[in-house]
Chain A
Amino acid sequence: MLEPRFATGDPADFVIIGSGAAGGVLAKELATGGFDVVVLEQGPYLRAGDFRHDELAYIFNQELTGGWEGKSPQTFRKTGKDKAALKDLPPPAIYARLVGGSSVHFTGNYWRFHDVDFKERSLLGPIAGTGFADWPIDYAELEPYYTKVDWEVGVSGAAGPFDPRRSRPYPLPPLPVKSSGVLLERGAKKLGLHAFPAPMAVLSEPFNGRAPCAHCGYCMGFGCEMGAKSSSLAAMIPLAEASGRCEIRPECTAFRLDTDAKGRVSRVVYWDEKGREQAQQARAVVLSANGAETPRLMLASTSSRHPDGLANSSGKVGKYLMYNGWTAAYGLFEHPLNDYKSVQVTRIIHDFYDSDPKRGFYGGGGIDARPGLQATPMFFALAGLPRDAPRWGSEYKRMLSEYFTRSMEVNGHTTSLPLESNSVSLDPDVKDLRGRPALRFTYKDHPDDMAAMHFMQERSKDILEAAGAQRIWDLPVEESTITAHLLGTCRMGDDPAESVVDRYHRSHDVPNLFICDGSSLVTSGRGQPTMTIQALAFRAADHIKAFAKRGEI
């Protein structure tokens, strides 16, 4: 079926900004639900066959993430008192710019949030100086949509001992365990912990006409040439287009949302693939541009009615940014693991998921084993050896040959508290090539976030030791300055003074503006947000369709 072409002057039922984890789901759901949809995506439209085994291009040249050469500069500072500095090597926020968004290059860890993630504030009480809050919805309300993600997007796994209840088993069995998974499980068992198969958005068997994983190992940071990784590009966009009602417009960068006399969004102004300014009329707009680009667009869309940015009467747009804490420990083993093969993660541990007051801090997390970016040899040679190893010469060379096949990384993934002072904003000084203010990140982990990271780092090293590692080393735990998780910046809530969207992802201020992506999250979960972002997108789509059918948009 030929993809429709909608005229910019005719209002589309929905204009969706962003085609990633959330935008892809919403495009598919709204288009197959009978609505005309235009998707604006700032990056190119690549297909599975375009992706290459090219570490230099993807990991170092950032071919999928773009942003070099002033195209999208980002600045960073720790607190509001500091002046933010340009930081583009690497940038503070790494996200992919192409159809499918970051779901194309992600790892595919599809942990569901647990009951506690939605109600932790009530369970544990307030935490002074933070915006720690309950969600307006709970796990039970989201559970059918987690199941929808499992079955529509394609998730492989097996239920674990700490999982929340599920209404349906996984559609696909877990991927075959790797040596890193065997060793993680061995260490866990010795310590009385419980490793279990990692839920992955990667197909272990043929599914919905898609081929399964061929275990090539070019996964995290790369696009899947098999289409086996369940990205929006592989799983959702083709269904959206097959409806005959969805037009994907790649290389189109939205930069402003305009409102009409009634205060409703009327059009999205963007630069097209040739850099020409265009404006797409819209009956309603869905913002799914990610937790940085979404608030950026809103803050840049000022008007007399919205002097502080669109739908920002609460002043919370861009606030409560959460990164998720992350730690890395490494172990060298006697025999080859060859952890560079297949998917990143095959076993995870959730024994430390819940916050435990006995530990003396708020926070929890999960642990997994993986090769990390050291899966590919160039990154490994630059950064994969212990910190005190020689960096050149014959001993360096010897260690490279000894360590590459025989080492693995154990990661801790932890909570981040929502702090109003952590934010995405528009840099007052630095501009991109088109004159737009650069994205400015202000971020400093809460002391409890740091404590949670230290705790998980120690548990990771315990596990490596129990697994029989010959040598153990780590990356020192430091305050976060870089992230791939952009959460909480247009948080969901019932109170229009304290949140940006309501429980249905409709902005409190603008009735035909919906916002659904990582920005909607109220709490950070334990480090693997995409599954929840997509469950929220499926749920939002159901409500948005119902509103539209009842004439309530």
Chain B
Amino acid sequence: MNNEQQSRRAFLKASGSLVGSSWLAFHSPLILAVSQEAVKARDSGAAFETLTAAQAAELDAISAQIIPTDDTPGAREAGVIYFIDGALGSFGGGMKEAVIAGLDDLHRRVQSQRGEAALFSGLTAPQQIEMLRTVEDTPFFALLRYLTVAGMFSLPSYGGNRDKIGWQLVGFDNRHHWQPPFGWYDAQLTKGDGNA
């Protein structure tokens, strides 16, 4: 077994676990070039580079259930699918096979329940959630969760996190300089409140 295979196998094994799913074998030299392409694609609504339109629609629907759109924007508005498209075509290329295979499996599940012509993205939201419950413990889902989170919260320059939607969701701000007070409790202390 060569090292690439070892690496991929280790990843697939790890992707089933909470921590393992967050440690991926990305190829760093490609990141910058690819992310610039992903940003351009995202901002211009361009065609996908790696995924077919049909695959992208399905993956977009899945990521939109992982971080849904409700009273605040979710994965869809953050352009997560453009991050995924860029990642699978480059530094995350080792994941592509597992993503496509998982997608095919999901498609078969949808077809067996809803008929030959059915697509995951065509299901109602409650149906999509019910369907994802049946795969939520698979390495495939862990992978999609990882990619969705990465697309939501990594630097916008990677193609996702459009308008810093992910960071705004959690209340994070990427600055190069902060000054105290940093939070409510140290601010109270500065004000001389002994109960802080």
- Partner-B contacts on A (CB < 8 A): 53-57, 60-63, 68-70, 73, 86-90, 176-183, 186, 214-217, 225, 333, 335-342, 376-383, 391-394, 396-397, 400-401, 404-405, 432-433
Q: Report B56 CB to chain A, min CB distance, Å.
A: 19
Q: Is B129 an interface residue (CB 8 A)?
A: yes
The 8 A-B pairs with the shortest beta carbon distances in the complex, nearest first, are A70-B3, A179-B183, A335-B184, A179-B185, A404-B170, A378-B153, A215-B178, A56-B154
Tell me if A383 and B67 are in contact (CB < 8 A): no
Residue from A215, A217, A340, A381 in contact with B180 in the complex, judged by beta carbons closer than 8 Å: A215
Tell me if A336 and B183 are in contact (CB < 8 A): yes
Q: Which residues of B contact A182 (CB under 8 A)?
A: 185-186, 188-189, 196
> Within B141-196, which residues are at the interface with A (CB < 8 Å)?
145-146, 149-150, 152-155, 158, 166-167, 169-172, 174-186, 188-189, 196
Q: Which of B17-25, B40-48, B96-104, B108-116 contacts A (4 or more CB under 8 A)?
A: B17-25
> Within B91-148, which residues are at the interface with A (CB < 8 Å)?
91, 129, 132, 136, 145-146
Q: Which residues of A contact B22 (CB under 8 A)?
A: 60, 379, 382-383
Tell me if A178 and B178 are in contact (CB < 8 A): no
Q: Report B79 CB to chain A, min CB distance, Å.
A: 15
Q: Whole-angstrom distance between the alpha carbons of A44 and B171 in the complex?
A: 35
Tell me if A397 and B169 are in contact (CB < 8 A): yes
Q: Which residues of A contact B26 (CB under 8 A)?
A: 56, 60-61, 68
Tell me if A378 and B149 are in contact (CB < 8 A): yes
Q: Name the residue of chain B whose CB is nearest to the CB of A53.
A: B174
Tell me if A393 and B66 are in contact (CB < 8 A): yes
Interface centre among A53, A380, A391, by most chain B C-beta atoms within 10 angstroms, is A391
Tell me if B31 and A57 are in contact (CB < 8 A): yes
Q: Is B82 an interface residue (CB 8 A)?
A: no
Tell me if A405 and B171 are in contact (CB < 8 A): yes
Q: Is B10 an interface residue (CB 8 A)?
A: yes
Tell me if A377 and B167 are in contact (CB < 8 A): yes
Q: Which residues of A contact B66 (CB under 8 A)?
A: 392-393, 396
Q: Report B92 CB to chain A, min CB distance, Å.
A: 10
Q: Whole-angstrom distance between the alpha carbons of A393 and B178 in the complex?
A: 32
Q: Whole-angstrom distance between the alpha carbons of A342 and B152 in the complex?
A: 23
Q: Which residues of A contact B155 (CB under 8 A)?
A: 53-56
Q: Whole-angstrom distance between the alpha carbons of A380 and B150 in the complex?
A: 11
8 intermolecular pairs with C-beta atoms under 8 Å apart: A60-B26, A61-B26, A86-B10, A338-B182, A378-B149, A392-B132, A397-B67, A401-B171
Tell me if B24 and A70 are in contact (CB < 8 A): no
Q: Which residues of A contact B145 (CB under 8 A)?
A: 382, 391-392
Q: Name the residue of chain B whose CB is nearest to the CB of A217.
A: B178
